[in-house]
Amino acid sequence: MSLRRVVVTGLGALTPIGNTVPEYWQGLISGVSGAAPITYFDTSKFKTQFACELKGFNPEDFMERKLSRKMDRFAQYAIVSSDEAIKDAKINLDNSDKDRIGVIWGAGVGGLETFQNEVLGFASGNGVPRFNPFMIPKMIPDIAPGIISIRNGFRGPNFATVSACASSANAIIDGLNYIRLGYADIIISGGSEAGVAISGIGGFNALHALSTRNEDPKTASRPFDKDRDGFVLGEGAGCLVLEDYEHAINRGAKIYAEIVGGGLSADAYHMTAPHPEGIGAIKVMQNCIRDAKISSSEIDTVNMHGTSTQLGDVAEAKALNDVFGKHLYSMNINSTKSMTGHLLGAAGAVESIASILSIKEGVVPPTINHFTKDEEIDENINFTFNSAQKRNVNIAMSNTFGFGGHNACVLFKKA
């Protein structure tokens, strides 16, 4: 059967370096770090005392207080970014076939803070089972797409994808395929996460996954640097309006880029560590390129998963060599997590927006905080260290990998 083409017609972002898409992009190309001491709770007894929190965010600026209190922060973030994207796409909510508009949303852990606070409340209440009546709907990851659909009346496909840090990339790929196959004309897709909480920092500290560079948070996320010591936890949301090409043309929508490929794979190796030879990363990029029906030599830039962990950065760099060969040395490679931190389930969406804007603006954001060369990583790769670089970008790739060995890869092409 003939598959329909899919384009991106709207964007929304809520990030540690900007609370709108223009602010986020300006933060990226300026090389701004979103890392700072945590303000949400007392960190004095934690190994890691900093994160990439949102700045100046108040949910009541975007929604009624009564509604915001019924939602965990991750769902609030979903509302804000999807509102921006829907407005950006200029979807006429009064004159659209809402049966043909769906929402597919990713979250790695959902309402982590809600669950944490309810358990803490129970433990401090002499065992009396007094729980918030909204505890369950605030906690479940699928409440985010549910609320977006309720808010806008969208009656098309509606569900959540959960694959740890690959969750929102999975959501985008599902959105791509639902439109390709004719099940919807528009899919509101993306992801949100609010893991900067007692249990989030404590849990990742127990895994020895987070940087502990408390004396200098802004330089703590340093992908591909020899002295990297773990990732920096971030929070926020990203939203893409995916649309059937013909549908977008017929309503006169602006088109940011075409989404031409999506790839998935599994490491089948370890709960939290990547395959040391990058086998899953190799497969997911190859699958994505095959799905797009292009050659690897046509790709100009890759926004890597690039978390700033010792094992992950080396494995992904090895995978790039295997997939791209000599063409790798003419590409721009980067990791925007050096600025935003790791947004977990929201990473795929937020980083896809960076890839799309690289195409639109002809600029590749930097990988900041590079100080010392790592002999295990090919020094001839252009990782766009420390400063943005101008480049005509025709096709951009975005990689996301999650605990459990989940890998997702998306390809965007100039419209």
- And the tokens for 64? 């009624």
Q: Is 165 a known active-site residue?
A: yes
Q: Among residues 58, 16, 102, 86, which one has the least CA distance to residue 346?
A: 16
Q: Is 406 a known active-site residue?
A: no
Q: What pairs with residue 193 in β-bridges?
A: 236
Region for residue 374 given its phi and psi (left: phi exceeds 0; alpha: psi -120 to 50; beta: otherwise) = beta
- And the tokens for 247? 């549908």
DSSP run (H or E) holding 85? helix 73-89
* Interior angle at CA 25, CA 21 and CA 174, nearest 5: 60
Count Cα atoms within 13 angstroms, Cβ side, for 203.
Answer: 12
DSSP 5: P
Active-site hit among 52, 165, 239, 288: 165
Active-site hit among 275, 342, 370, 406: 342
Active-site hit among 275, 305, 370, 406: 305
Listed in sequence order, the residues at least 6 apart from 190 whose beta carbon sits closer than 8 Å to its beta carbon are: 12, 78, 81, 82, 85, 105, 106, 168, 171, 172, 237, 238, 239, 240, 346, 349
Q: Is 247 a known active-site residue?
A: no
Give CA–CA dist 368/386, Å, rounded.
4
Q: Which residues are identified as catalytic?
A: 165, 305, 342
